[in-house]
Amino acid sequence: MSEHAAGEARSAAAFAALLDRAGLLDLDAGDRAFLRAAFDRTASPLPIPEGFDELQRPMTASAGLQDGSPS
């Protein structure tokens, strides 16, 4: 099996496991394709702004939304 095919197989297995955990194994083909496309999109990294600090504390609640000073 080529590296690409192996990667595809791993990805398909991970996607199936995800649907299994969510209890959504009985989806129709259209729903499955839609979610698979969404799943594949998460493989590309989230766009990051210039100067982003990897250890930036996340915004986990509304606090700080209003005054631009998140904890």
Partner 1 sequence: MIEDMLRSVAACARQIRAGGISSVELTAAALDRIGSSDARLNAFLSVDAESALAAARACDADIGRGEWRGPLHGVPYALKDIIDVAGQRTSCHSRIRMDHIARADAEVVSRLRQAGAILIGKTALHEFATGGPSFDLPWPPARNPWDPNIHPGGSSSGSAVAVAAGMVPLALGTDTAGSVRHPATVCGIVGIKPTYDAISLAGTFPLSYSLDCMGLLTHGVLDSAVTLAPLLTAEAARRIRRTSDPMAPFPGLEDGLGGLRIGVIEAFQPESEIDPEIGAATAEAIRALQHAGARVRPLRLSPLAVYTECGKTILQSEAYSIHAAWLRARHAEYGRRGRRRLAAGLTIPVERYIRAQQVRAHLIREYAAAMQSFDVAVCASSLAFACRIDDEATVDRTYDRQARTPFNVLGTPAISIPIGVGKAGLPMALQIAGRPYDEPTLLRAARGLEQALGLSLTPPCAASR
Residue 12 contacts partner 1 per CB under 8 A: no
The verdict on 29 binding partner 1 (CB under 8 A) reads no
Between 2 and 60, CB nearer to partner 1: 60
Q: Residues 48-67: x/- map of binding to partner 1 (CB under 8 A)?
A: xxxxxx--xxxxxxx-xxxx
19, 31, 41, 18 alpha-carbon torsion, rounded to 10°: 0
Reading the block at residue 53, the tokens are: 């600090």
Name which position in 8, 9, 17, 34 contacts partner 1 (CB under 8 A).
Answer: 34
The CA–CA distances, whole Å, from 31 to 1, 2, 23 equal: 29, 29, 14
The count of other CB atoms within 10 Å of the CB of residue 16 is 13
In the complex, minimum distance from the CB of residue 4 to partner 1, in angstroms, rounded to a whole number: 21
